[in-house]
């Protein structure tokens, strides 16, 4: 299950990066939010504070990006 969630986070983050690069900001930020939320879950499950910190910041930045995209 954790492996699936980590791959979900990886793939949605990659897709989000390309969508933002192609100026599809709203859906790109949604993909980034899914990716960072998935990695937050993995971080909490593994008790990895570095992973939690990084993806919590990414999650908040992507929420701000989505808000600003509208």
Task: Give mean pLDDT, residues 43-69.
Answer: 95
**At residue 70, does pLDDT exceed 90?**
no
Contact 10, 37 (CB under 8 A): no
Q: For 4-52, what is each residue's pLDDT tens digit?
A: 999 999 999 999 999 999 999 899 999 999 999 999 999 999 999 999 9
Number of domain units in the chain: 1
Q: What is the pLDDT of residue 44?
A: 96
What was the pLDDT predicted at 69? 85
pLDDT of residue 52: 96
The pLDDT value given to residue 12:
97
Q: Which domain holds residue 29?
A: 2-69
């Amino acid at each position: 299950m954790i492996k699936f969630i980590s791959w979900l986070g990886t793939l949605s983050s990659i897709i989000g990066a390309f969508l933002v690069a192609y100026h599809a900001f709203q859906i790109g930020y949604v993909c980034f939010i899914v990716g960072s939320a998935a990695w937050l879950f993995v971080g909490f499950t593994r008790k990895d504070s570095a992973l939690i910190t990084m993806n919590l910041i990414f999650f908040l930045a992507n929420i701000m990006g989505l808000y600003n995209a509208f």
